[in-house]
């Protein structure tokens, strides 16, 4: 007697059985209900059952398309985080001088970082560029207007009036007194020459009427001892000395310390050294780590807690003429800039 096998009822195409994996199966195999092409295991839900009287509705299985993360070099502008500040009638600007007798240690970049955070926090800041190279002035790309710059204040025959020299930048809270190569003519290095005419008080008289209009006045100095550096120290409340964590990068620091002591003793009794800021720091280099530790041990509390690393984000910020807190607001570079600004204010109010 011949026996017949009882076959199970055929499933409709693309039927989904509970507990069966279809990931990795070819499209043709899935259409035929063939699971032999499955490579990986993933449990799927049971077939969705339709209303009574209708056959079971199969769910089409397909790999979910997840959105790819796309990286772009385009800069996305974010709304700045603004902090309200209560201003009283007695508030006057803090005048800071950024000075080192060695070039390339980050003086101009430090001024740029302070200006960016001041704009973010809606604090009025005036940048005074006393370096004839004018790197800080060039960063803002001011349109040529034919007006004189900082050199007009050092002219012996002119009154020290800084109001006509102030330029409005593209940032609402940043103003600038620019510098240009014409300053070389008046930025003399002979101390006897400027003391006879009392030229070292040039910025003292020029910036005094402006203190009620700003929260911060930051002076960027040339990398040498000259009239511009001397008058910046005479007008300042505090001095910040940027340096690199290297032997040749810290040269000139002792001369700056002696100069500050001389100015405080003879010309400006309120002048205080706020501290030393290590800039262009490369943590991956062992010799820089070791020299940084020596600097902190030598200067003690005068060494800033904030260190400015050598990030490419900072360079991109200067190239694009956009402060780092705006072109990359959530980056580590922006966090360091905000920490630097907070520590500068903390040290300035401490004295």
State the pLDDT at residue 235.
95
Whether residue 70 is contained in a domain is answered as no
- For residues 249 and 197, membership in a common domain is answered with yes
Distance CA 351, CA 343 (A): 13
What's the pLDDT tens digit per position in 22-80? 444 444 444 444 444 443 334 334 334 444 444 444 444 444 444 444 433 333 333 33
The CATH number of whichever domain residue 175 belongs to comes to 3.40.50.300
pLDDT averaged over every residue in the chain: 77
pLDDT band at 176 (very low <50, low <70, confident <90, very high): very high
Whether residue 182 is contained in a domain is answered as yes
The pTM (predicted TM-score) of the whole model is 0.73
Instruction: Count other C-beta atoms under 10 Å from residue 339's C-beta.
Output: 16
- For residues 168 and 242, membership in a common domain is answered with yes
Distance CA 348, CA 334 (A): 21
Q: Which two tokens stand for residue 147?
A: 């007006």
Top mean-pLDDT range of 47-61, 76-90, 196-210:
196-210
Whether residue 39 is contained in a domain is answered as yes
State the pLDDT at residue 47.
39
- For residues 150 and 256, membership in a common domain is answered with yes
User: Residue by residue, what is the 3-state secondary structure of 78-141?
Assistant: CCCCCCCCCCCCCCCCEEEEECCCCCCCCHHHHHHHHHHHHHHCCCCEEEEECCCCCHHHHHCC
Is the pLDDT assigned to residue 164 strictly greater than 50?
A: yes
- For residues 35 and 154, membership in a common domain is answered with no
pLDDT band at 12 (very low <50, low <70, confident <90, very high): very low
- For residues 282 and 338, membership in a common domain is answered with yes
- For residues 138 and 54, membership in a common domain is answered with no
State the pLDDT at residue 80.
37
Q: Identify the domain containing residue 274 by its residue range.
A: 94-350
- For residues 50 and 184, membership in a common domain is answered with no
Distance CA 171, CA 227 (A): 30
- For residues 222 and 262, membership in a common domain is answered with yes
DSSP string, 199-262: GGGHHHHHHGGGGGG-SEEEEEPPSS-SHHHHHHHHH-SEEEEEEESSTGGGTTHHHHHHHHHH
Whether residue 43 is contained in a domain is answered as yes
State the pLDDT at residue 82.
35
The mean-pLDDT minimum among 72-81, 127-136, 214-223 falls in: 72-81
The mean-pLDDT minimum among 155-159, 228-232, 310-314, 326-330 falls in: 155-159
Whether residue 186 is contained in a domain is answered as yes
Whether residue 282 is contained in a domain is answered as yes
Between 11 and 339, the higher pLDDT residue: 339
- For 55, counting Cβ atoms within 10 Å of its Cβ (0-12 exposed, 13-18 middle, 19+ buried), the class is exposed
State the pLDDT at residue 247.
65
What's the pLDDT tens digit per position in 240-299? 999 887 765 566 688 888 999 999 999 999 999 999 999 888 776 777 788 788 888 888
Is 226:189 a contact under the CB 8 Å cutoff?
A: yes
Is the pLDDT assigned to residue 21 strictly greater than 60?
A: no
- For residues 34 and 180, membership in a common domain is answered with no
Rg of the chain (C-alpha set): 33
Is 268:236 a contact under the CB 8 Å cutoff?
A: yes
- For residues 98 and 58, membership in a common domain is answered with no
Is the pLDDT assigned to residue 133 strictly greater than 50?
A: yes
Domain count, the chain: 2
Whether residue 141 is contained in a domain is answered as yes
- For residues 132 and 203, membership in a common domain is answered with yes
State the pLDDT at residue 101.
87
Distance CA 68, CA 61 (A): 21
275, containing H or E segment: strand 272-279
- For residues 168 and 30, membership in a common domain is answered with no
Q: For residue 287, give the nearest of 250, 332, 237, 331 by alpha carbon.
A: 250
State the pLDDT at residue 251.
65
Between 42 and 213, the higher pLDDT residue: 213
Mean pLDDT for 6-10 is 50
């Amino acid at each position: 007697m011949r026996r017949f096998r009882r076959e199970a009822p055929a499933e409709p195409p693309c039927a989904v059985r509970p507990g069966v994996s279809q990931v990795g199966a070819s499209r043709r195999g899935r259409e035929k209900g063939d699971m032999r092409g499955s490579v990986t295991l993933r449990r799927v839900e049971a077939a969705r059952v339709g209303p009574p009287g209708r056959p079971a509705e199969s769910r089409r299985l397909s790999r979910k398309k997840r959105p790819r993360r796309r990286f772009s070099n385009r800069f996305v502008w974010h709304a700045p985080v603004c902090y309200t500040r209560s201003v009283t009638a007695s508030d006057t600007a803090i005048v800071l001088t950024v000075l080192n007798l060695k070039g390339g240690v980050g003086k101009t970049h430090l001024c740029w970082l302070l200006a960016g955070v001041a704009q973010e926090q809606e604090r009025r800041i005036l940048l005074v560029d006393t370096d004839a190279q004018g790197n800080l002035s060039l960063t803002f790309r001011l349109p040529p207007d034919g007006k004189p710059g900082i050199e007009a204040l050092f002219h012996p025959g002119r009154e020290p009036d800084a109001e006509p020299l102030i330029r409005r930048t593209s940032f609402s809270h940043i103003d600038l007194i620019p510098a240009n190569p014409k300053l070389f003519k008046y930025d003399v290095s002979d101390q006897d020459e400027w003391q006879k005419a009392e030229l070292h008080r040039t910025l003292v008289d020029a910036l005094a009427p402006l203190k009620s209009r700003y929260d911060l006045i930051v002076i960027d100095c040339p990398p040498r001892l000259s009239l511009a550096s001397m008058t910046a120290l005479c007008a300042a409340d505090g001095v910040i000395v940027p340096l690199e964590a290297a032997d040749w990068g810290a040269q000139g620091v002792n001369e700056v310390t002696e100069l500050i002591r001389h100015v405080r003793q003879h010309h400006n009794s309120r002048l205080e050294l706020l501290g030393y800021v290590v800039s262009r720091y490369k943590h991956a280099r062992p010799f820089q780590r070791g020299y940084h530790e020596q600097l902190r041990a030598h200067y003690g509390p005068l060494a800033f807690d904030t260190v400015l690393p050598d990030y490419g984000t900072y360079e991109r910020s200067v190239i694009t003429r956009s402060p780092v807190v705006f072109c990359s607001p959530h980056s580590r570079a922006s966090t360091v800039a905000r920490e630097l600004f907070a520590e500068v204010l903390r040290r300035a109010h401490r004295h």
